[in-house]
Amino acid sequence: MARRKRHGRCFAAVLLTIGAPAWERAKADDRPVTRVATIPIPSASIFIAVDGSAERLVGMHPLSRSAIEEGVLGRMFPNARVINSSIAAGGADGFMPNVETLAMLDPDVVVQWGDRGDDIVAPLRNAGMHTALMRYGTEQFARDSLTLMGEIAGKPDKARALIAWREAVATEIAAKAAAMPDKRRLKVVYLQRASTGLVVAGANTYSDYYIRLVGGVNAAAELSGALAINAEQLAQWDPDVILLNGFEEQLTPRRIYDDPLLSGAKAAMERRVYKMPIGGYRWDPPSHENPLAWMWLAQLLYPDLFRYDLRKEIEESYQIVYGYRPSLSDIDSVLRLSVNGDARGYDRFTAVTPTPGHAP
């Protein structure tokens, strides 16, 4: 099947090379995996994407549920909205497993963080539950998580195709960005928290990875990890672009524009404050939709260099990953046009001419 020629890396061209997926994977006791519970926040959405269904997911973290409800995944898979989200105790940000609830759900496998200590793993082990551990925060860990979900779902080919898509897009973007002169590189700050206080992503964070991938300079690179800063520090960096996290649902660029100090920063003065999109999952942390996030950011920073038809990329990749053709309003929602629409350069993501036969 020939791909029509256009700028950018089409996911379809990658995924059409895979073989027929296996639907189930046998565990050590030879029973198929039919019931899965996921505690790490992104793992519910990643599993649904790899599996192409929410039918086998029986439990998730409450923040996984909020991402499904806020984004378009809940529209694609309405039954995902009613999956039990009380399997992790200790508050919305806690990862201590609620073993009593999990026992009631009787999962074949529970996915848990593998890099946050044994305290949150031991209760699962002691209860005799099959547990798969995932790590998080780097591009390699993101690929490993896809591999893990492919093994659990019995769909390793789907996972490999998603990884191949990442590799293709990252390679293409990195090649273009590498040729960019230093004087053109924009200073970017990603705010991991901004509603109350400011937390910035410094070096050795995933945000630092993709800011550098597309040719930007992380203005917070003098720091390591995610750290709290004050407004004075952010104003001193005077970034060209500010990215707002997708986790704080009520956060909008007004937070920056209305701040007495931050409103004088170059990013605010030039209306280059953007809230990260949310599709099948939030685009800012590692997930299966990161290639779309990289295209989005590359085009925002350097529209003359990166000319993706991002709306078409979303439409095509969603049909393949999820078996769902997003409507124009779905894509508007993914790109947060209602929040970002008046920001500089964001009109390039507005639908100009509806695709024939496309749902409004």
**Average of pLDDT values for 183-198?**
96
Shared domain for 250 and 210, answered yes or no, is yes
Whether the pLDDT of residue 75 is over 60: the answer is yes
Shared domain for 194 and 305, answered yes or no, is yes
> Which CATH number belongs to the domain containing residue 149 in this structure?
3.40.50.1980
pLDDT of residue 26: 35
In a domain, 218, yes or no: yes
- CA–CA separation, 119 vs 88, rounded Å? 13
Shared domain for 226 and 340, answered yes or no, is yes
pLDDT (tens digit per residue) in 113-141: 999 999 999 999 999 999 999 999 999 99
Shared domain for 213 and 326, answered yes or no, is yes
User: Could you report how far apart the first and last alpha carbons of the chain are, in Å?
Assistant: 28
Q: What percentage of the chain exceeds 70 in pLDDT?
A: 88
Shared domain for 117 and 84, answered yes or no, is yes
Number of domains within the chain: 2
Shared domain for 294 and 325, answered yes or no, is yes
Other beta carbons less than 10 A from residue 171's beta carbon: 10
Angle at 186 between CA 181 and CA 189, to 5 degrees: 145
pLDDT (tens digit per residue) in 32-44: 799 999 999 999 9
Q: Which contiguous run of DSSP H or E holds residue 60?
A: strand 57-60
Q: What are phi and psi of 136, to 5 degrees?
A: -155, 150
Bridge partners (DSSP) of residue 229 are 198
- CA–CA separation, 184 vs 234, rounded Å? 21
Angle at 358 between CA 354 and CA 359, to 5 degrees: 110
Whether the pLDDT of residue 91 is over 60: the answer is no
Q: How confident is the model at residue 30 (pLDDT cuts 50, 70, 90)?
A: low
Mean confidence (pLDDT) of the chain: 90
**Average of pLDDT values for 346-351?**
94
> pTM higher than 0.85 for the full model?
yes
Q: How confident is the model at residue 19 (pLDDT cuts 50, 70, 90)?
A: very low
Angle at 54 between CA 30 and CA 148, to 5 degrees: 55
Residue ending a domain, choose from 96, 126, 161: 161
Buried b (16+ CB within 10 A) or exposed e, 252-287: bbebbeebeebeebbbbeeebbbbbbbbbbbbbbbb
**Average of pLDDT values for 225-235?**
97
Residue 225 gets the label, from left (phi > 0), alpha (psi -120 to 50) or beta, of left
pLDDT (tens digit per residue) in 279-312: 999 999 999 999 999 999 999 999 999 999 999 9
pLDDT of residue 27: 42
